[in-house]
Copies of this chain bind each other. A is one copy, B any other.
Amino acid sequence: MTQKIQIGKLAMLVASLTPDELEPFMPALGEVSYCQGKAGSMEVQKVIAAVETAAKRNGIIKENVYRETHALYHAILESLEGVMRGQLGVGNMMRTVGLRFAIVRGEPYEHEKEGEWIAVAFYGTIGAPVKGLEHETFGLGINHI
């Protein structure tokens, strides 16, 4: 079994590149369903809610099927581990974040039995609640769905 589509890499690119920079990757993006959005908050739960809402609004996951919400939720949490680097709880840490996120759903593996997987990527800045006192941060989470 090998991967034919790298949904994680695609999610990272959608979250961090400019439209021009993303141009060369549009063909690959044509093979998956994806969406993007923004989240800026001191509170983890608002960041999670922003991603869950975007995923449902854009039909990436089915709103009334728990297993899909469950799969997405854990992909978001894993991605946030990267963003927070072991300090989940943004507000609690007095850090503020300005994030762009991307959600990619597709079939990464050749073997069709592997079915669909979902990737959630965050890219942006994290730092003190003062403009400029911040650096880049990134996270990626992947789960079967």
Contact = CB atoms under 8 A, between A and B. Distances in A.
A136 B6 contact: yes
Interface string A107-145: 011010111010101010001100111111111111110
A7 interface: yes
A32 B101 CA distance: 26
A93 to B, nearest CB: 7
B128 A94 contact: no
Interface of A: 1-3, 6-9, 12, 16, 21, 24-25, 43-45, 48-49, 52, 62, 65-67, 69-71, 73-74, 77-78, 81-83, 85-89, 91-94, 108-109, 111, 113-115, 117, 119, 121, 123, 127-128, 131-144
